[in-house]
Amino acid sequence: MVGNHSPAKEAPHARPHPAERHSRLPAPSARPACGGQVSHALARVARSHRTTAGHLLRRLGLYPGQELLMMRLWEAGPQRQSELIKLMELDPSTVTRMVQRLEQAGLISRCAHPGDRRAVLIETTPAGEALREEVEQVWRDLEERTVAGLTEADRAELSRLLSLLERNLATG
Amino acid sequence: MVGNHSPAKEAPHARPHPAERHSRLPAPSARPACGGQVSHALARVARSHRTTAGHLLRRLGLYPGQELLMMRLWEAGPQRQSELIKLMELDPSTVTRMVQRLEQAGLISRCAHPGDRRAVLIETTPAGEALREEVEQVWRDLEERTVAGLTEADRAELSRLLSLLERNLATG
DNA sequence: GCCCATTACTTGGCCAGCCAACATAATGGT
DNA sequence: ACCATTATGTTGGCTGGCCAAGTAATGGGC
C-alpha cells in the first residue's frame, strides 16, 4: 500500500449506573418523515461505493482518492499542483499530502516549475504509468457493479439527476 | 468542534429505499473514454453534499457523521453500541471513537448494560437532546437544497435509483 | 465443570479531507 | 522602486472511516 499497518493494547473504564430503560420503539427502518430521504440515500450509497473502490484499489497499493489524482495525470499529463487542486476541487492541503505519499510510493514525482518558483510540477513516474491499465480496469469494474441492472435509460437519468444535484450543491 | 476547540460560551458548546424494477442488461455499451460516469458523479456529489452538511453542522458543534448517530439515538432511544454499529453500517472502531468524542462533548453518555457486561448502553444527555430540533432543521435545509429544482417525480426516481445502487454495492 | 467459538468493544495505525495560519513568490498599482 | 494583494504550497490539528489485532464477557457443546 502506499502506507502500512499494525497492532494494539488495552484500556480501562466502564461506568456503573444502569438504569436500564426499555425503549422498545418501532421498527428501525421505518421511513419516517425524516427530512433527508435523498440525502441519506446519497450518503449511504457513496460510502458503500467508496469502500468498494477501496477494496479493489487495495491490491494495487492505492487508497481511494489517490486513483483520481493519478487518472488526472494520466489523462492530462504533467501539470501544476494548483491545476490538480482546481480540477479535483480539493483542499490544497489535501493534495499536498496526497502528493507527498504518492511521491514516496514512487508513483509520481515533483519538480520545480521553471518560470514560477512558487509552483510545483507533478508528473507520473514509470511505476505510476505502469498502474494505469489496472486502475482503469478497476474503475470499469466498479462502474459496472455500481449500475448493474439499470437500463441504459436509467443510467442516463441517474447521470442527469446527479448533475442537477451537483449544480445545486455547488452553488451554495 | 465536538472534539476540542472552542467556542464561544461553554458547556455544550458552541463550537460547535423505495421501489424497484426490472431491466435486462444490454450489451456493455461502449462508454465514453472515462470509465466511470456514474461513479465519478456520485463521488463528486457526495463529497460536495458532505461538505455542505459540514458547514451547516459546524455552528452546532458537530462534524458530519455525528449527526447521524445522534439522530438514531433521538429516534430509537438509548441502545447498545452494537445496535448503532449495525444500523449505521459502520466499523465498530469508528463508532467507538465517535462515541468517545460525543461523550466528551457532553452530548451523550455511556453506561454499563445490566445483564451483559460486554455491552455499552448509549443515551443522549439533556444537552444532546437540546440539539435535536436544530439538527433536524439542518437536515431539512440540506435536503431541500440538495433536491432543489427537481420535480416530485425526479425525486422519487432518484430515490429509486439510489436504492438500486445501494443494493448493488451491498452485495459484493 | 470445561473449553471454544462468538459477540462486543477498544486501541494502534494509516488515509482522505477540511480549516486555520503561515511562508514565499509573483503581480499590480501608485 | 515600493508595497499591498493575490497565488501557491506547506504544516498543524482535528474528524470520519477502514483494517488488523487484542481483551473480555457470553453462550453452547461435551
Sign of CA pseudo-dihedral B164, B166, B169, B172: negative
Beta bridge partners of A109: A123
Instruction: Map out the domains of chain A as residue ranges.
Output: 52-170
Q: What is the pLDDT of residue B21?
A: 35
Neighbours of A103 (CB within 10 A): 16
Q: Which nucleotide is nearest to A115 (CA to C1')?
A: C26
User: What are the residues facing A80 on neighbouring strands?
Assistant: A121
May I ask the CATH architecture of the domain A52-170?
Orthogonal Bundle (1.10)
CA distance A92 to chain B (A): 15
Within 7 Å: CB of A72 and strand D? no
- Torsions phi, psi of B146, nearest 5? -65, -45
Instruction: For chains A and B, count residue pairs whose Cβ atoms are closer than 8 Å.
Output: 200
pLDDT at A1: 58
Rounded to a whole number of angstroms, the distance from the CA of A152 to the nearest CA of chain B is 8
Cβ neighbours of residue B120 under 8 Å, at least 6 residues apart? Answer: B80, B81, B99, B110, B111, B112, B113
Q: Which of A21, A36, A164 sits opposite B78 (nearest CB)?
A: A21
Q: What is the pLDDT of residue B5?
A: 43
pLDDT, residue B171, reads 74
Angle at B60 between CA B98 and CA B125, to 5 degrees: 60
Q: Is CATH 1.20.1250.20 the classification given to domain B47-170?
A: no
Kindly tell me if the per-residue pLDDT of B6 is higher than 50.
no
pLDDT tens digits, B151-167:
999 999 999 999 999 99
Query: How high is the mean pLDDT of chain B?
Result: 84
Q: Which H or E run contains A159?
A: helix A152-170
Q: What is the tens place of the pLDDT at every residue in B74-115?
A: 999 999 999 999 999 999 999 999 999 999 999 999 999 999
| Residue B4 confidence (pLDDT) above 60 | no
pLDDT for the residue B7: 37
Rounded distance in angstroms from the CA atom of residue B44 to the C1' atom of nucleotide D7 = 25
pLDDT score of B2:
74
> CA of B90: which chain A residue's CA is closest?
A47
CA of B67 to C1' of C11 (A): 24
Query: What pLDDT was estimated at residue A171?
Result: 75
Whether B97 CB is under 7 Å from strand D: yes
- Res. B3: pLDDT tops 50: yes
Which residues have C-beta within 8 Å of that of residue A82, sequence separation ≥ 6? A92, A119
Q: Which of B31, B34, B42, B97 should we substitute to test contact with A (largest number of A Cβ atoms within 10 Å)?
A: B42
Count, residues in chain B: 172
pLDDT per residue of chain A (172 residues) written in tens, 0 to 9: 564 433 322 222 222 333 333 333 333 444 444 456 899 999 999 999 999 999 999 999 999 999 999 999 999 999 999 999 999 999 999 999 999 999 999 999 999 999 999 999 999 999 999 999 999 999 999 999 999 999 999 999 999 999 999 999 987 6
Q: List, for residues B20-54, the tens digit of each pLDDT value.
A: 333 333 434 444 445 568 999 999 999 999 999 99
Contacting residues 46-75/B vs strand D (CB within 7 A): 63-66, 68
Note the pLDDT of residue B141. Answer: 95
More confident residue, B141 or A16: B141
A152:B29 CB<8 A: yes
Partner residue opposite A41 with nearest CB, options B75, B77, B162? B162
User: Distance, angstroms, CA A92 to C1' C12?
Assistant: 28
User: Which grid coordinates belong to A152?
Assistant: 441504459
